[in-house]
Amino acid sequence: MERRMEKARVRRTIMGLVLVATIAGGVLVNGCSRSDVAAENTMLSMSSISAKNLSEEEIQGLIQMREEEKLARDVYLTLYERWGLPIFNNIARSEQRHTDAVRNLLEMFGIPDPVTNDSVGHFSNETFTRLYRELVERGNASLLAALRVGIDIEELDIDDLEELLSQTENPYIIRVYNSLLRGSHNHLTAFRRTYRQYLPGNNESAIEK
């Protein structure tokens, strides 16, 4: 019994270290930052980590963000194939780190991962399947429309992350959500800048909310 408990404790510790490694940083380049999911260089205490310590809102928020970050990745990968613009591929790689960071939280808390098929366009939540199809259809219309989709996705992420942050006091969740939020702001800035470059007449007012 004691040996099993010790192995479980070690596994939780390893998962915490994996989480820190997943969200460790770098430098922002063309909207893709290796620090947009950066964590402080502090050792996380792995004691008492369990979904029993989370509210239903916190659990559902993690499940939502796991697929929402995958949605962003999948849309950007698809639009990169359509238009070949590097920003989509760069930010898709960043979104991969985002969804991995949330997956690691789910594993630490023992929450089932909603992503059972990591293929592009596949989601457990039908809402994300529908959003993927709608966003790709919009983005396929023109390069400007594709960049506008990027802006809309990052604005959605920011709004959702801010709301989810207001619903939790868990330090592990807060740390990851804040890192994702910084990343989304970086992505939004990059998409707006690129949109402006391709906009006829560089009409900046066209990209304001």
Question: 32-50 burial string, b = 16+ CB within 10 Å, else e?
Answer: bbbbbbbbeeeebebeebe
Q: Please, what sign has the CA dihedral across residues 129, 60, 103, 19?
A: positive
pLDDT, residue 201, reads 74
Query: What is the dotted CATH code of the domain comprising 2-207?
Result: 1.20.1260.10
Rounded to an integer, what distance in angstroms lies between the CA atom of residue 76 and that of residue 71?
9
One-letter identity of residue 201:
G
pLDDT, residue 27, reads 36
Rounded to an integer, what distance in angstroms lies between the CA atom of residue 87 and that of residue 23?
20
**CB contact set of 156 (below 8 Å; sequence gap of 6+):** 68
The 3-state DSSP composition of the chain as helix, strand, coil percent (nearest 5) reads: 70, 0, 30
pLDDT, residue 137, reads 98
Within the chain, which residues score under 50 in pLDDT? 1-29, 35-48, 204-209
Domain boundaries along the sequence of the chain: 2-207
Rounded to an integer, what distance in angstroms lies between the CA atom of residue 182 and that of residue 157?
11
C-alpha dihedral, 166 to 168 to 172 to 175, nearest 10°: 0
pLDDT, residue 51, reads 75
pTM: 0.77
pLDDT, residue 53, reads 87
C-alpha dihedral, 142 to 186 to 15 to 127, nearest 10°: -40
